[in-house]
Amino acid sequence: MRRSLPALLVFSLTLAGCGTVADSRLNPVNWFGAAPAAPLANPDASNPLIPSRSGIFASRRAAQEAYFGQPFEQITALSVEPAPDGVIVRATGLAGRQGIYAVQLTPANPDEAAIDGVLTYRLEGMRPDRNTGVGSAPTREVTAARHVSEQTLRGVHTIRVEGAQNAQVARR
| Residue 90: predicted pLDDT | 95
In this predicted structure, the answer to whether residue 40 has a pLDDT above a threshold of 70 is: no
CB 161 within 8 A of CB 75: yes
Number of domains composing the chain: 1
In this predicted structure, the answer to whether residue 64 has a pLDDT above a threshold of 60 is: no
In this predicted structure, the answer to whether residue 112 has a pLDDT above a threshold of 90 is: no
**For residue 105, is it within any domain?**
yes
In this predicted structure, the answer to whether residue 68 has a pLDDT above a threshold of 90 is: no
Region label for 143, one of left (φ > 0), alpha (ψ between -120 and 50) or beta (otherwise): beta
- Exposure string of 8-33, with b = 16+ CB inside 10 Å and e = fewer, is eeeeeeeeeeeeeeeeeeeeeeeeee
**For residue 5, is it within any domain?**
no
33 against 167, higher pLDDT: 167
**For residue 10, is it within any domain?**
no
**For residue 32, is it within any domain?**
no
Write out the residue range of the structural domain in which residue 83 sits: 70-171
In this predicted structure, the answer to whether residue 20 has a pLDDT above a threshold of 80 is: no
**For residue 33, is it within any domain?**
no
Q: CA gyration radius for the chain?
A: 30
**For residue 111, is it within any domain?**
yes
| Residue 51: predicted pLDDT | 63
Identify the CA nearest to 126 among candidates 160, 100, 155, 99: 100
119 against 26, higher pLDDT: 119
5-14, 18-27, 72-81: range with lowest mean pLDDT: 18-27
3-state class (DSSP) for residue 49: coil
In this predicted structure, the answer to whether residue 80 has a pLDDT above a threshold of 90 is: yes
Q: Give tens-digit pLDDT for 48-60.
A: 676 666 666 666 6
Q: Give tens-digit pLDDT for 113-172.
A: 888 999 999 999 988 888 888 888 888 899 999 999 999 999 899 999 999 899 999 987
**For residue 60, is it within any domain?**
no
CB 98 within 8 A of CB 66: no
DSSP class of residue 52 equals P
Q: What is the pTM of this model?
A: 0.61
**For residue 40, is it within any domain?**
no
